[in-house]
Amino acid sequence: MQSFFLQESNFGNTVSQTATRIMNELTPELPHSDFITDMAFIMIVGAIVTLAFFKINQPIIIGYLFAGMLLGPISPLWTLIFQEFGVSWTLSEGGSILGDLTTLHIFADIGVILLLFVIGIEFPYAKIRRIGGVAIGAGSIGLFSALGAVFYVASALGLSFMDSLFIAAALSISSTAVIVKMLEDMGRIENKSSLMILGILIVEDVIAVILISTLQSVGLAGTISVEGLIVVVVVGVGLIVGTFTIGMRIIPSLIDRVASTEHREILLLSVLGLCFGYALLANMVGLSVAIGAFLAGVLVAESKSANVSKILTRPIKDMFVAIFFISTGALMDMSQLGDYIWLIAALIGVATFMKFGGSIVGNLLFKQSRSSSIRVSTALAAPRGEFSIVIVKAGVEIGAASAFLFPLIGVISIITSFMTPFVMKAGDKVVSTKEVENA
C-alpha cells in the first residue's frame, strides 16, 4: 500500500516537471513564476470569491478585498495546499503568494485612472458647476475637522509630533476609489447626493496634493514652503479652468469627428488616449492622476458620443478596478493588526466620527437638505485608501515618519473599506425612516 502511494507521488512529480519543461520550451520568454502567475491567481480567486459574495447578497467590493486577503500574507491557505500536494513554491517577501508586486501596483494605478475617467463621463460640466462652491466649502470643513481631531488623539496616545501629523493627514482623506465603486454597485452613481460626494472627493484630492507638499517640506526643512503651496494651487486652478474653457471648445468636437468614422476600435483608442494623456498632464504638473482622468471624462461627457465611449471603456475599467481592489487586499500585511489593535480602533473611531460630523455640519451650513447631508456624510465617513497610503509612504521615505505607520495605515485602509458599505446602508436606512416620518 505504501509503495502505491509512493508511486503515485513520483508520478505526480514527473507530470509536474514535464508540464513545466514543456511550458518553458514553448514560451521561454514568459515569466511563469511572476506576473502571469499573479494574474491567474487574481482572476481565478477573484471570480470564485466575488461570485460567493454575490450569492449571499454582499457588496462586490468586499469580495474583491477578501479575495486579496486570501492571496496575501494573512492566509496560510496556499502553504497548506502546496504541502498537501507536494508542490514547491517560494512565497514573496512578507508571505504573499503573489510575486510581481511592482507590476501589480502599476495595474492598480491604471484601475484608479479608468474608474475616475468613466465616472467623469457621467458628469458633464453643467452638473459640476452647480455644486462647485458647496463641494469646496463642505469638503474642506469635513476634512480639516477630521485632521485636527485625529492629530490631537494621536498625540494624546503617545505618537510623536510628525507621526501624529502624517497619520492625521492620511486619515482626513476619504478613498475616492472605494466610494465611487460602492456608489456604482448600489446603483446610486447618478443620484444628486452622489454628485456632491464626487465633487467633495475631487476637492479632497486637490487638498491631499497640497498636504503632501506641505508635510514633505516640514519633514525635510522643518518649515512650510509658502511658495510651493502657491504653485500647487495656481497650477491646479489653471488646469481646471483651462479644461472648462479651452478644452471644452476643442476636445468634444474632435471626439465626435473620430466617432463619425463609425469605427469603434479607433474611438476606444482615442478616448483612452485622452484619459491617460490628461492623467499624465496632471501628474507632470504635480497633481493627482485621478484628477486628470476625471477631467478627461468630463470632456468626453460634453461630446455627442459620450454614451458610446462609456460603453466601450467600461469592461476595461472593470477589469483593472478588480485588480486594484484585490491587490490592495493582498499587499496589506494584516498580521500587524495585533500589535496596534487599540491604536487602530481609536484612530478609526475618531476619524470616522469626525469626518461624518464635519461633513454633516459643512453640508448643512451650505444649505443642503438633511437627507442629502446624511447620505454624503455616511459615504465619506469611513473609507481610507489610496491617498492615505501615499501620504504615509511619503513621510516614511523621507524619514519624517516612523516605519510602523505604513502597515498601520494599510490595516486601517482594509478595515475602513470593509466598513464602508455597511455605514452607507445605515445612512440610507436613517434617511428612509425620516422620509416616512415626514410623509
Per the CB < 8 A criterion, the answer to whether 26 and 289 are in contact is no
Tell me the mean pLDDT in the region 309-330. 81
Per the CB < 8 A criterion, the answer to whether 385 and 422 are in contact is no
Q: For 121-158, what is each residue's pLDDT tens digit?
A: 877 777 777 777 888 899 999 999 999 999 999 999 99
Residue 326 pLDDT greater than 60, yes or no: yes
Does residue 433 or residue 294 have the better pLDDT?
294
- DSSP code for 339: G
Does residue 377 or residue 104 have the better pLDDT?
377
- Among all chains, which residue has been given the C-alpha cell 517560494? 90
Per the CB < 8 A criterion, the answer to whether 327 and 107 are in contact is yes
Tell me the mean pLDDT in the region 46-70. 81
- What's residue 430's pLDDT? 85
275 to each of 112, 120, 204, how far by Cα in Å? 11, 10, 21
CA atoms within 13 A on the CB side of 385: 30
Per the CB < 8 A criterion, the answer to whether 89 and 97 are in contact is yes
What is the rounded CA–CA span in Å between residue 138 and residue 379? Answer: 14
Per the CB < 8 A criterion, the answer to whether 148 and 172 are in contact is no
What share of the chain has pLDDT > 70, as a percent? 79
* Alpha-helix residue ranges (DSSP H) falling in 186-288: 192-221, 226-242, 248-259, 264-284
Q: How far apart are the first and last CA of the chain?
A: 76
Q: For 60-91, what is each residue's pLDDT tens digit?
A: 777 887 888 788 776 666 666 666 666 665 55
- Among all chains, which residue has been given the C-alpha cell 483651462? 242
